[in-house]
Structure 1
Amino acid sequence: MDWLQIVLLSLVQGLTEFLPISSSAHLILVPVFTDWPDQGLAFDVALHLGSLAAVVIYFRHELVAMVTSWCRSIAGHGTDDDARLAWWVILATTPVGLAGLAFKDTIEAVMRSPLVLAGGLIVFGVVLGVADWRHRGTRSEYRMSWRDALWIGLAQALALIPGTSRSGITMTAALMLGLTREAAARFSFLLSIPVIILAGGLETLDLLETPLPVAWGDLAAGTLLSGISAYLCIHFFLAFIRRIGMQPFVVYRLLLGVALIWLFG
């Protein structure tokens, strides 16, 4: 891998992992529009590690409170808002974990074409636009019920379809359930932690089965760049949607989807 490939893939992963525009679509499209060889599983794991570090560092105070309260609830000392939020993250992660184990190979084999990406970008982009325009409410992530968490988790399972966007579909479901834009985004970011761990774990298992020489410098650079760009993305995205909302991302998804249909249809 040359440095241009390392930098571009790292920025694409870091920026699109948390934006509602589908990171999988952009990572699939990079080799479509370049003649670069596949970056390999080790580099994919490094990029996920960078994104994971970014979201954990950004939400470190919330995570400490959630884990502490969750452990107290397990020990029978009552359940407060932080413990409930931790339980809701676990509950909402379960559907995508089960669906990923059941359908991962099928999806990778038959659903990674540019036209499938275009369909996912357009259809779920329109749904996001409607949710942001008409259905957002006033509740925070701490005012969710277990039913809300389950519905968001079921929606997250749809993100296995390339082009859907995990962050986009979870924010869409949260907005439709009456959460504010910021609350929808924050819960989506918290949900990314177990999802990235699961995805990175599966990739690591695949990597262990195909031992190859490791370019540690490339991996370190990818992890660092992905982490920095992801952290900045989270910070500025939360400020951006507070003032402007989701509509610019909806427009981008529609334009990218139409462009893919024009190029590959």
Structure 2
Amino acid sequence: MSWIETIVLGIVQGLTEFLPISSSAHLRITSAIFFDQDAGASFTAVTQLGTEAAVLVYFAKDIWRITRTWVVGIWDSSVRSSLDYRMGWYVIVGSIPIGIFGVLFKDQIRTAARNLWLVATVLIVFAFVLAFAEFWGRQSRIIKDFRMRDGVVMGFAQAMALVPGVSRSGGTLTAGLFLNLTRETAARYSFLLAIPAVVMSGVFSIPDVFDRTGHAPSGAQMIVATVIAFAVGYAAIAWLLRYVAHHTLYVFVLYRVALGSLVLALLMTGTIAAT
């Protein structure tokens, strides 16, 4: 892997991880168009450690408060009615689906799911699902209204993002809107929900990212890409939270359709290869 590819993919990961446009799809498409080869699912998983580190830093106070309250609540029943205690369980239970599906379909995620015909199609199809959720959702429920059912539904929505093109944040935001949560509430839970799954996936993918013939990054390149993803991702978190509080998600719908259509056109003309 060249240093240019390392830097570009690190920036792409940081810019797209938290937007409902699928960072894994963008890494796959960027690799195909500009570098004529797939950086791989493991590279994506490891660079996501950088963007999740940004989440840990940005939400450090919230994460510490929720974690402390959850641990205390295991022994002290007086705190179990608090939102922080319940949120700890919501994140744990909501993380189970992606863990199960990630293990069951590991091989398919690394191979067939990265076919660009599928990626482009999924980008477009789920754009319309997101648009319908934005149109239909009443956005009448805030964070204090969050319940276990919401965590489970959004957890399954997150698991769908194992297919590049769905988007982890896009899936959870869509599910949240269908549950009538406000965009900001859905986004905040989405950030917290991603932490266990993404960190575990990234850690377990570290050995795999170097076990590739002909196109593996060096250790230094992997570190640089992850650090870049952290820095860009941190700025993206702040921007997205401000954006969703005051704007609809239709701009991302249009972008997904445009990008998916472009990739399909490039595939049809033989400009890029599907695998």
The answer to whether TM tops 0.5 is yes
Contact 2:183 2:245 in 1 (8 A): yes
Counterparts of 1:253 and 1:208, CA distance in 2: 31
Alignment length (residue pairs): 265
Once the two structures are TM-superposed, the CA of residue 141 in structure 1 deviates from its matched residue by 2.9
Gaps of 5+ in 2: 269-275
Q: Which moved more, 1:29-38 or 1:194-203?
A: 29-38
Distance 1:254 1:54, change over 3 A: same
Distance 1:227 1:161, change over 3 A: same
- CA deviations on 1:63-102 (whole Å, 9 max, x unpaired) are 0110011001111333111011111011111011101100
Equivalent residue, structure 2, for 1:13: 13
- CA deviations on 1:144-195 (whole Å, 9 max, x unpaired) are 1111111111222211122111110111001110110111111111111112
Distance 1:35 1:154, change over 3 A: closer
Q: 2:136 aligns with which of 134, 143, 152?
A: 134
Counterparts of 1:158-197 in structure 2, within 5 Å, are 158-197=160-199
Query: Cα RMSD between the aligned structures?
Result: 2.3
SS in 2 for 1:139: coil
Distance 1:105 1:251, change over 3 A: same
Counterparts of 1:35 and 1:210, CA distance in 2: 16
Once the two structures are TM-superposed, the CA of residue 108 in structure 1 deviates from its matched residue by 2.4
Counterparts of 1:157 and 1:100, CA distance in 2: 8
Confirm whether residue 240 of structure 1 aligns to residue 246 of structure 2.
no
Give the counterpart letter for 1:198 in structure 2: M
Counterparts of 1:208-227 in structure 2, within 5 Å, are 215-227=218-230
Give the counterpart letter for 2:107 in structure 1: D
Counterparts of 1:151 and 1:182, CA distance in 2: 17
Identity, % of aligned positions: 37
Give the counterpart letter for 2:132 in structure 1: V
Q: 1:249 aligns with which of 249, 252, 269?
A: 252
Q: Which moved more, 1:146-155 or 1:215-224?
A: 215-224
Once the two structures are TM-superposed, the CA of residue 46 in structure 1 deviates from its matched residue by 4.8
Give the counterpart letter for 2:17 in structure 1: E
- Structure 1 segments, 4+ long, off by >4 Å, are 36-46, 207-214
Contact 1:82 1:142 in 2 (8 A): no
Equivalent residue, structure 1, for 2:64: 64
Contact 1:42 1:219 in 2 (8 A): no
Gaps of 5+ in 1: none
Counterparts of 1:186 and 1:126, CA distance in 2: 23
Counterparts of 2:228 and 2:134, CA distance in 1: 31
Q: 1:105 aligns with which of 98, 104, 107?
A: 107
